[in-house]
Copies of this chain bind each other. A is one copy, B any other.
Amino acid sequence: MTEKAAPAPLARTVLQQCLHARLQVAPPGPESEAEWVQIDRGMVIYVCFFKGATEDMLPKMVSALLNQRLCERASGGLASVLELRGSVLLVPQATLGGRPKGRAMQYHGNVGKEDGLRLYQRFVSLCQAQLQAAGGAAAGGAGAEGAGAEVKHGTYGNRQVLKLDTNGPYTHLMEF
Which A residues are closer than 8 A to B by beta carbons? 1-8, 10, 12, 14, 46, 50-52, 64, 67-70, 78, 80, 91, 93, 95-96, 98-100, 103-105, 108-109, 159-174
Contacting residues, chain B, for A1 (C-beta < 8 A): 7-8, 10, 50-52
User: Could you tell me if B69 and A104 are in contact, using CB atoms closer than 8 angstroms?
Assistant: yes
Contact of A163 among B50, B51, B109, B165 (CB under 8 A): B165
Task: Please name 15 pairs of A and B residues whose Cβ atoms are closer than 8 Å in the assembled complex, sorted by A.
Answer: A1-B7, A1-B8, A1-B10, A2-B109, A5-B7, A5-B8, A6-B8, A93-B171, A95-B171, A96-B172, A159-B167, A160-B169, A161-B167, A162-B164, A164-B164
Interface of A is mostly: loop
User: Could you tell me if B166 and A163 are in contact, using CB atoms closer than 8 angstroms?
Assistant: yes
In the complex, what distance in Å separates the CA atom of A171 from the CA atom of B105? 12
User: Could you tell me if B103 and A67 are in contact, using CB atoms closer than 8 angstroms?
Assistant: yes
Q: Count identical subunits in the complex.
A: 2
In the complex, what distance in Å separates the CA atom of A164 from the CA atom of B23? 12
Contacting residues, chain B, for A7 (C-beta < 8 A): 1, 5
Contact of A173 among B10, B96, B161 (CB under 8 A): B96
